Amino acid sequence: MFNTRRALSRRTMLKGIGASIALPFLDAMAPAGSAQGRTPVRLIAIEMVHGAAGSTAFGIKQNMWAPAATGSAFDLRPTSMRALEPYRDYLTIVSNTDARNAEAFLPPEIGADHFRTAAVFLTQSKPKQTQGSDVFAGTSFDQIYAHSAGQATPIPSMQLCIENVDQAGGCSYNYSCVYTDTISWASPTDPLPMIRDPRAVFDQLFGVGATPAARRARRTDDQSILDWVTEAVTDLKRRLGAADRARLADYLDDVREIERRIQKVEAANQAGEPRELPGAPVGVPDSFEGHVKLMFDLQAVAFAADTTRIFSFKLSRDVSNRVFAASGSTAAFHTGSHHLDREERITDFQKINTYHVGLVTHLLDKLKQTPDGAGNLLDNALVIYGSAMGNSNLHNHKRCPLFFAGKAGGALKGNLHIRAADGTPMANAMLTALQGLGVEVSQFGDSTAVLDLNTVKS
């Protein structure tokens, strides 16, 4: 299976009946890897709905989202990004940008902000108001990158979500539900479905070649997918040096641990006890935090194996009234976002924002701990986090929350807060980020110019 007289191919798979597991980058692949040029940059684009407490007049004064100082001497402690302090060298905050295409342009669009905002975040384009099949938005950031970088991997891109989705029929204010169900658009007329079930994600990443019957049999017997590739693992280990054997063992341990957690969730959800999410697939944890972290771990292990380089991840759905008790707030999410501009309720809503951003540290830690090229995955990744809504109480789309994490292969310096001029489109920051990923594009959404993401102008 492996020839010791030549470098191991980067596309080598551990194959068994009904399983096909890609390998992490190993020293044995170095000659092949060096011929490929620079280390690829991975992308995770994360949307969280309902804007931010820091987009209100009170929140701006209290620095609930954007730090007071620009440049590199900013203080994250008052902000909802305080948990990102250990990663500030990888953090680029872009504040005071607007998502104008999420605004109402015509009277029939007034009040429908929740039902078009998700479609704007990664497209920065105006969604067509329709409940029919003639939906129209724009090609999303992740898919523009996938067109150039996604073809080199077995899976060009993956689209994940946490909340339930139903891409059929109309929602409210004459907008199709598809606009609230996805943030990824392969073209202006081609919205991409998002996967909510971690089991479905795992099977796509590691179950290549398996029939549905084989997958069911493996689950019924409580087998690990690694049991199906034992012979291939043993054969490979004999051909690797000590460092590669250790790296392979760590990677396979990660795969097995993720699989074990999925199996544990499935067993609990099939035990007959009442569920918090009774309509959710059996592989979906009732715990929001558990679900998010499991999805983050799947993304990190997919990057390590270079199975895909591109994810979009929708953390919630507009008008969701889920309660995040771990945030310290007892308010339902959508209800809490309509804080009536009362200071104590804005402060309470910030707790939810802070909790959501805090979960991203789990992903950043996984990426930073994973070797990649001459550095780690966080050096060679771009993580986008934000929303196309600003002050959710007003349903406006000004001063929207946005930050980038990761060095994007050297395109971003990090440890920087950039406050854009009033009226700057969020699309300007995204255009610059796309160019930093090596995409030759001069326009994105309603962009008007590039926005320097490495320098603060005095």
- Residues constituting the chain: 458
Answer yes or no: are the C-beta atoms of 140 and 183 closer than 8 Å.
yes
User: Rounded to whole angstroms, what are the CA distances from 195 to 167, 200, 358?
Assistant: 12, 7, 23
pLDDT at 210 over 60: no
Instruction: State both tokens at 228.
Output: 């199906």
pLDDT of residue 4: 44
pLDDT of residue 246: 93
Q: Confidence class of residue 9 from pLDDT cuts 50, 70 and 90? A: confident
Rounded average pLDDT over 25-54: 82
Instruction: State both tokens at 200.
Output: 């479905």
Could you report the per-residue pLDDT of 397-418, keeping only the tens digit for each?
A: 999 999 999 999 999 999 999 9
Answer yes or no: are the C-beta atoms of 425 and 124 closer than 8 Å.
yes
Of 134, 142, 174, the residue nearest 160 (C-alpha)? 142
Rounded average pLDDT over 316-343: 97
User: 410: which residues sit within 8 A by CB, 6+ positions away?
Assistant: 379
pLDDT of residue 35: 46
Answer yes or no: are the C-beta atoms of 435 and 415 closer than 8 Å.
no
Answer yes or no: are the C-beta atoms of 270 and 282 closer than 8 Å.
yes
Q: Confidence class of residue 26 from pLDDT cuts 50, 70 and 90? A: confident
pLDDT of residue 219: 58
Question: Percentage of the chain surpassing pLDDT 70?
Answer: 92
Q: Confidence class of residue 34 from pLDDT cuts 50, 70 and 90? A: very low
Question: Percentage of the chain surpassing pLDDT 90?
Answer: 80
Could you report the per-residue pLDDT of 94-144, keeping only the tens digit for each?
A: 999 999 999 999 999 999 999 999 999 999 999 999 999 999 999 999 999
Average pLDDT, the chain: 92
Q: Confidence class of residue 37 from pLDDT cuts 50, 70 and 90? A: low
Strand-pair category, 381-386 with 42-47: parallel
pLDDT of residue 1: 39
Instruction: State both tokens at 165.
Output: 């989705």
pLDDT of residue 213: 62
Strand-pair category, 381-386 with 402-405: antiparallel
pLDDT at 215 over 50: yes
What distance in Å separates the CA atoms of residue 196 and residue 204, rounded to the nearest whole number?
A: 13
Instruction: State both tokens at 250.
Output: 């760590």
What distance in Å separates the CA atoms of residue 208 and residue 248, rounded to the nearest whole number?
A: 20
∠ Cα 324 325 330 (to 5°): 90
Tell me if residue 66 falls in helix, strand or coil. Answer: coil
Answer yes or no: are the C-beta atoms of 98 and 390 closer than 8 Å.
yes
Answer yes or no: are the C-beta atoms of 321 and 335 closer than 8 Å.
yes
Task: Delineate the domains of the chain, giving CATH numbers in brackets.
Answer: 45-193+287-436 (3.40.720)
DSSP letters, 153-179, are: SSSS-EEEESS----SSB-STT-BTHH
Rounded average pLDDT over 223-248: 89
What distance in Å separates the CA atoms of residue 182 and residue 159, rounded to the nearest whole number?
A: 8
Region label for 373, one of left (φ > 0), alpha (ψ between -120 and 50) or beta (otherwise): left
Burial of 265: CB neighbours in 10 Å, binned 0-12, 13-18, 19+: buried
What distance in Å separates the CA atoms of residue 116 and residue 179, rounded to the nearest whole number?
A: 6
Place of tokens 């005071």: 96
167-181, 198-212, 339-353, 377-391: lowest mean pLDDT where?
A: 198-212
What distance in Å separates the CA atoms of residue 178 and residue 197, rounded to the nearest whole number?
A: 18
